[in-house]
Amino acid sequence: MSTPRDDDYECWSTRRGHRVHPIQARQAWRRPQERVEVIVRAVHGSVVEVVLGDGSVRRLATHDPERAVTLTASPAPQVFLDPRWGLLGFDPPDRVALVSASSNLDIGACPREPDVGVLTRPGTHEDHTELASRITQSLAG
* pLDDT computed for residue 42 by the predictor: 93
Rounded to whole angstroms, the Cα distance separating 104 from 137 reads 13
Identify the burial level of 104 via C-beta atoms within 10 angstroms of its C-beta, where 0-12 means exposed, 13-18 middle and 19 or more buried: middle
How far are the Cα atoms of 10, 24, 70, 88 from residue 7, in angstroms, in the given order? Answer: 8, 25, 19, 23
Q: What is the pLDDT of residues 32-74, one digit of tens each?
A: 888 999 999 999 999 999 999 999 999 999 988 888 898 888 7
Q: What is the pLDDT of residues 65-122, one digit of tens each?
A: 888 898 888 776 789 999 999 999 988 666 778 999 999 998 888 876 655 554 556 6
Instruction: Provide the whole-model pTM.
Output: 0.69
